Amino acid sequence: MSRLFCIVIVCVLTTSCVRVKPYQRGTLSKRSMAADKDASESRFEQHSRGSREGADGGTGEAGGGCGCN
């Protein structure tokens, strides 16, 4: 699965040379395209997963910070 992930990343990055102009970004500014989860929703999600799963991270935010391990 990790190999498939790397292949997808390489394919996307090598085909991502198209420059989208500011006036073409109406769709990209939609809530669903920017952040479909509020900060509070993501924080609770990360907190509950951190106490039930051994893996953590990948969100750019530091996890843990409580004695619920």
Partner 1 sequence: MRVQLIRSALLALPLIAASLSTASADGNVTIRGAYYKEHSTKVVQPMIDAELEAGEHGTFAGHLLVDSITSASAASGAAGTAFNESRNELGADYTHDFGDIRLGLGGRYSTEPDYQSRFVNLSLESDFAQRNTTIGVNLARGFDTLDNSGAQGGLSSILTGELDTTMISLSASQILSPESIMSVSYDLSYLDGFQQNIYRTVVAGGMISAERLPDSRLRHALASTIRYHLTPTNTTFIGAYRFYIDDWGILGHSPESRIIQELFDGDVDIHLSYRHYRQSAADFYEDIYDSGDVFEEPFLSGDDKLGDVRNHTFGFKTGIYLGLFGLEGKWADVRVDGLVQYLKQNTHYGDAIISQVALTFPVEY
Binding site for partner 1 (CB under 8 A): 1-2, 5, 8-9, 12-13, 15-16, 18-22, 24-28, 30-33, 36, 38-41, 43-44, 47-49, 51-62, 64-69
Please report how close the Cβ of residue 68 comes to partner 1 at its closest, in angstroms.
7
DSSP string, 30-55: SHHHH-SS-HHHHHHHHHHHHTT-S-
Contacts of 47 (CB under 8 A, 6+ apart): 63, 66, 68
The amino acid present at 54, given as its one-letter code, is: G
Please report how close the Cβ of residue 27 comes to partner 1 at its closest, in angstroms.
5
Please report how close the Cβ of residue 42 comes to partner 1 at its closest, in angstroms.
11
